[in-house]
Structures are given as C-alpha cells and as structure tokens.
Structure 1
Amino acid sequence: MSNEFIPAARPIIGEDERRAVDAVLQSGQLAQGTEVAAFEEEFSKVLLDERAAVAVNSGTTGLHLGLLAAGIGPGDEVIVPSFTFAATANSVALTGATPVFADIEPDYFCLSAESVKSVITERTAAIMPVHLYGHPANMDQLQQIADDRGLQLFEDAAQAHGASINGRRVGTFGAFAMFSLYPTKNMTSGEGGMVSTGSPEIERQLRLLRNQGMEKQYENEIVGFNARMTNLHAAIGRVQLTKIWRWTKQRQDNAAFLSKNLTNAVVPKVADGVEHVYHQYTVRITDDRDGVAAALRDEFQIGSGVYYPIPNHRLPSFSRAEDLPVTEAASKEVISLPVHPSLSQDDLERIVTAMNKLTGAGA
C-alpha cells in the first residue's frame, strides 16, 4: 500500500475548468454577465427541478441575502441548529434577528423537530434547518410545524447538492435555500453560493440585494450589497455541474465501502427515502476521538476533520446557556473520514485498516 498522505478533502480542478476560465479571460467580460446567467439556468435544471437560482459571491452571503429577501430582520427569531458551521447563525445575526438554537437528531445530525417545538416563542419568524454532511433534515416534520405555527421555512443546503427526500431534491422545500460553492464542497465555483427560491418576490429581492439594489443600472431601488458572482467563478461552476452526478455516485460508493468494512465505529445512518450525498462521511467514536484523529494523521498519513468541535451556542460570538445534550455529545464524538471522489481503492483500504486498528476492532 502507498504511504502518500490522504487528505480529508480534495477539490477536483481539471483541464475543462482551466479552459473555461481561459475563455472568460480572453473574452474580457470578467464581472457578472452571461456566464453567471447560464450557470443559474443550468443549476436550476440540474439540481432544482427548474426552481429559480440566483448566484452570489459566497454561501454565507446567500443565507444573509435570502433571509433579508424573505423579510427577516430586527425583532425576529430564527430557529437554527447549534451543531453546524457558524455561518448559519451568523447570517441570522447579520440581519438584526436573533438565532435561537435547537438540538439535533442523534442518528442524522440534523435539526430535531421536537427540539424546535420547545423553543418557539411569539417572536419566532422562521425555522432554518441544515442538511448536514449531505443528509437532508426531516423537512416533512419541520414543514408541518411551520404550517401549524405560521412560520417560514428556509434551507441551509450548503453541503447537500443533489440530496433528496422521497425523490424531491433539497433546495425545493423552503421559501429559499442556499448551496455553498466553496472549494471543498461536492462541487465548486472556486468561491460562491447559489440561492434557490420558488417565490418571484424573493427572487427579485435577491437580485436587487446582490447588485447594490439595482435591476437597471443607476436606478437603485433599495439599499443593497455588492454580492455578485463573477463570470470567472461561474465558468468553473458550469463545468463542475456537468460532473456532479458522477462524483456523487463515487462518494456514495466510497461511503458504502467504508460502512461495510469499519467494524468498531458508529457509521452514518440514512433515513428511509433519503438520498445522502456524503459531503462528509461522519462516524462517532465514543472513546478518545481526538486521539484517533491525531493517530490517523501522524501514524497512518490519513487526514480527517471534526465538524464541529464547538457548538454554536458555546462560541464566544453567541455564548448561550442552552441545554442541547445531543449536540454536546456529537461535538465530542464525531470525526469525518475522507470520502471524496479522488480516493483510490488502496486509499479506502488504508482508511479501513487504520480505523479498525485504532478503534480496537478485534482486540
């Protein structure tokens, strides 16, 4: 077996992407233009069942503008998971609203409907689950709560390109949804985000907000941002979009091999009717998770990641005295192993061998 380091994630950028960027450079049209418009249209067709898609310069921007476009602002509360990247709660706070943290389900790491019910107040305006690691949140239950309480439902789909529930793709449930296009995601534009919506009103607000409040040049209708995606980034995204299903199938095959052969770690569960796209392959290790991660790196030359070691409610930026026991347990036990499409069979076998040795299988 090779002893070359296996990274936790590896962006795949090939000659197709380089040629696409070079074509934009040669055109001289670098800022938002026809490439961005084409990327939005293609993303809509490939991943969103033709729901409207609006490209922006980052995933966090997409969440922020989506919330603003949906009318979220000071005085509102938006229920979010604490077990996620801080961008989810940050985007709420940036609108002047308050993120309210709820617990997660133990099996799928996504927002718990029962916990959501327990934190609803008269100020609650919306629920924003995260489809964490590529596994969809329970949108049926969360939609029912939203409908019963007159709340809006949004989706943080940053990690879930192509995931689905009973054949319905994530990004088509909420009033808006955001997909990240950061380099380590299942597909990338180098940097960027895509916001989907089924509401013409929200779509128009998104397009105004990303472009200084303008639909027509110099006719600023509202106060907006410079949040545009460039043609350069869109050109990369368009190429990646043609490869997303092949890469997704490889991630799923890699995950299946790991789940079949890891013998002493709690492997990912998948809910009935769900298609998991394995942005991360996340297992639980109940004994010395951090020691296992260090040994994987130092002894076996295998990268891994802990997503996320500090829940949002305990970050200095929020610091809330919440009782979220499932979140707290997950933050101490999860470790994400390489699952990306660049892995060879030799890489997968090395990961299994190392993990089974470190977690004491057969000892």
Structure 2
Amino acid sequence: MTKRNYIIPIFIPHMGCKNNCVFCNQRFITKNLNPMTLEDVDLNIRTNLDFLKDKNNIEVAFYGGSFTGINKKDMINYLELVNEYINKNLINSIRLSTRADYIDGEILNTLKKYKVKTIELGVQSMLQDVLDKNMRGQKIEDVLNSSILIKNYGFKLGLQMMTGMYYSNKEKDLYTAEAIAMLKPDFVRIYPTLVLPETYLKKLYDQGLYRVMNLYECIDSLNQIVKVFESRNIPIARIGLPYEINENDNLIGPRHPSLRELVYSNIYLEIIEKYLDDFSNVKDIKIYASNKNLSYIVGYRCQNKKKLIKEYKFFNISFKYKDIEGMIIEKDSQMINISREEIFKR
C-alpha cells in the first residue's frame, strides 16, 4: 500500500517569475499579496506540524512561483529553514515547483544538498506556438533537457500541463499530454485554463479573442488526456485548481468541486455502455470494482446509475466491492471481465 504524503504548502506567488504569462495571477489564486517572510514560513510549518502530530511522510512544498528563479540567497534561506525541521526528523523532505529554464546542474546540486526530493515543472504546453502566444517565455528544449537532467540527478519529476489555453485546442492539448507522457514523469497535474481577473487573458476574453471551454467540452477533452497517462501508469496528482480556492470568485471557465470525479465517471460510463448491446432482456446487473473505482462508476451524485436505469430500463443495478484493478459486470450467471487496460485504452 502506498504511504500517504502530508503536504505543508508554502505559497510564494510570482517569486522568481521573469514572465507574466497571459493566464497567470498567482496572487489572486493564493490570496497572498506579498511573498512569505522566513518568519511567516516558520509559523506556517509549526502550525501545520501541530495539526499533523504523529503523522509520517510530511513534505514542505513551495508553490506559486518559480522557486529556483528567486534570488539564490533567499532560496537557500528558505531551504535552510526547512532543513532545521528535517534534521529534527519532524519533516521528511521538500518539493518545489519551478520553470524548466531555471534548471541546471549547479541548481540541482544545491537542491540535493538541502534534501529536496521532488521538482515540478510548469510545462503548460509542448507546442512552441502556444507557449509564445501565452508569453510563457520558455522553449520546448528547456522542458526536454530539464526533465532528463532532473531524473538523472535522482529527483522525482512532476510535470504540469494546462488545457484550453489561448491559441490551443483539443488536438493540441492531446499532443501535449502524449509528449509529456514520453518524458516518463513520476506524476502529472492537469489544470484547465480559467480566466482570472487582472490578466491579459481577461482582456482577450473581453475582446472576444479567446473562448473558454465549457464544462462538458472540458470533460470530453480530459477524458482522452487522462487515458494517455493512465494507460502508461503515470499517476495524476490533481485535475483542476482546488475548488475552495476560488468558489466564491467570479472566475470564467470550467470549474467544478468534483472535476476529477466527473472525468473518471465519464470514462467508466463510456466503457459500460460499450457492453450494453449484450444486455438485451436483462433486468438485473451487478458491477464489481474497488471502492475507489465504484464511486466513479456510480458517478457524481449517482448520475451514472440514474442514466443506466433510465435509458436502459434496468430493474435493478447494484455495485459491489471487489479487490480488482478493472471491473466485472455480472448479468444472470454471465461475468464480463473488463481489465484496467481496456478501461483506459485510447
């Protein structure tokens, strides 16, 4: 069983960022107007440790800026502070997010010295024209070279992509997912684009030059992207921004408190419906899967279950726990075994 990591997040909005990407307003997302001082970081760590008392595998994570792009002295000060807790066995490791063009051998040696274990790169797109239009200011070669270098130095590699960016589309997003998967990251994050206030993207939107995906288009696109990573056993750490960060803000774009569940439920419903031609004159069926997958199969607020009963006239459909990776559909005495590979086959 995989051990759970407990994250203490430290937000450093815009610190180290040389570019102002068209979609970005980190201070709006994090609600932090100023970078966290060492005193702020120390207080945040102590407060979280009190809450996480008796927990193992605790990580401090620097999010929101480009950590390796900030002033080297400041960067080392942050790392030294966290290392005081690591040396006392109160914290296990450090993770950070940064840009691909802020990685080289010298930086990686410094990070290794201070017990950083995980580095996440904001890739966003693997197409240069999309990066340029979004004023990202990095090259595809930066992503390729940095990803290889990070893995060669023994760090865990996380890669972040965005969907629905300005000048992108469903096909380009799928290409990005495929290109990222070829780099064999240890995990990925997928962020559908939201239009934030006080960004250039908001101006483009107001001028009718940028159209956001609606929720259904977003789920359809994510359906294929998730399959790219799942079919290669690449864990997806997150889909979408945490909803509670912006649930009361008037943001534009595909948001939902259970976006991940909607996407996976869509995938499982798709595979179940594929077999429904075999269910003529059957009124009762049972579906077996692991606890996690059963929730996806039933669907958000039982939407899949309701649809199956309504559209296919099942008298009863039940869902049973079974310790398997795929799922089994039982009708009468017939068992249909569906492997995990088939569920996530593209």
Q: Would you say same fold, with TM above 0.5?
A: no
Give the number of the structure whose residues are more often strand, by fraction.
2
Give TM-score scaled by structure 1 length: 0.28
Query: Relative contact order (alpha carbons < 8 A, sep ≥ 6): 1 or 2 greater?
Result: 1
Give the number of the structure whose residues are more often helix, by fraction.
2
